Amino acid sequence: MRDAADGGRADTRRADTRRADSRRDDSRGGAAYPEVAAHFAWTEELRRRAAANIDAQLPALLAKWGPVIGRRPTHITLRLMTSRWGSCTPATGRIRLNLQLGLMEPRFLEYVLVHEMTHLWERGHGAGFQRRMTAYLPGWKALRHDLNRRVVL
């Protein structure tokens, strides 16, 4: 989520889709918890637990944020992502969430979901995006800061 660097661009990696991504900030995340990343390994059980945790939270989160944001994702898919916490394809309404969010504090899942749902209105991270985020979730910059300190496993 490099707001300044990403500017109005939706995606820097794929030309075939118009996505807007929540990237982790490599300059801050990697070195903060090297021991966590070094000893962690995903297992089927952890994947199941993470997916179950997210699935358990999504209905209430969508019920809460759908009316506030005024748009809802058409699909939400969970998967392990190596460099971002979530992504959104505004043209299709599809949102992807990093499965790791299911092993973290619920506030991070909520932040990433709101972030990606905001991309259903605003493709980049410009002034319009930031204005919406502040209206929806006034503490979003602190959440982003905390999340960017976490290692993507």
Give the shortest CB-21-to-Zn ion separation in angstroms: 6
**Residue 21: which of 71, 68, 83, 111 has the closest Cα?**
83
Tell me the HSE value of 99 on the side-chain side, using a 13 A CA sphere.
Answer: 17
Nearer to Zn ion, 20 or 137 (CB): 20
Q: How many CB atoms lie within 10 A of CB 47?
A: 17
Dig out the tokens for 93 from the structure.
């309404």
**Contact between 22 and Zn ion (CB under 5 A)?**
yes
**Contact between 89 and Zn ion (CB under 5 A)?**
no
**Contact between 87 and Zn ion (CB under 5 A)?**
no
Secondary structure class of 14 (helix, strand, coil): coil
Nearer to Zn ion, 47 or 126 (CB): 126
Cα torsion through 90, 94, 96, 97, rounded to 10: 90
Nearer to Zn ion, 20 or 109 (CB): 20
**Contact between 148 and Zn ion (CB under 5 A)?**
no
Tell me the HSE value of 107 on the side-chain side, using a 13 A CA sphere.
Answer: 10
**Residue range at the interface with Zn ion (CB under 5 A); choices 22-30, 43-51, 76-84, 143-151:** 22-30
Number of residues engaging Zn ion in binding (CB under 5 A): 2
**Residue range at the interface with Zn ion (CB under 5 A); choices 19-27, 53-61, 70-78, 144-152:** 19-27
**Residue range at the interface with Zn ion (CB under 5 A); choices 20-28, 67-75, 106-114, 143-151:** 20-28
Residues 6+ apart with CB under 8 A from 98: 78, 79, 80, 81, 84, 85, 86, 112, 152
Give the shortest CB-143-to-Zn ion separation in angstroms: 13
Which residues are near Zn ion by CB under 5 A? 20, 22
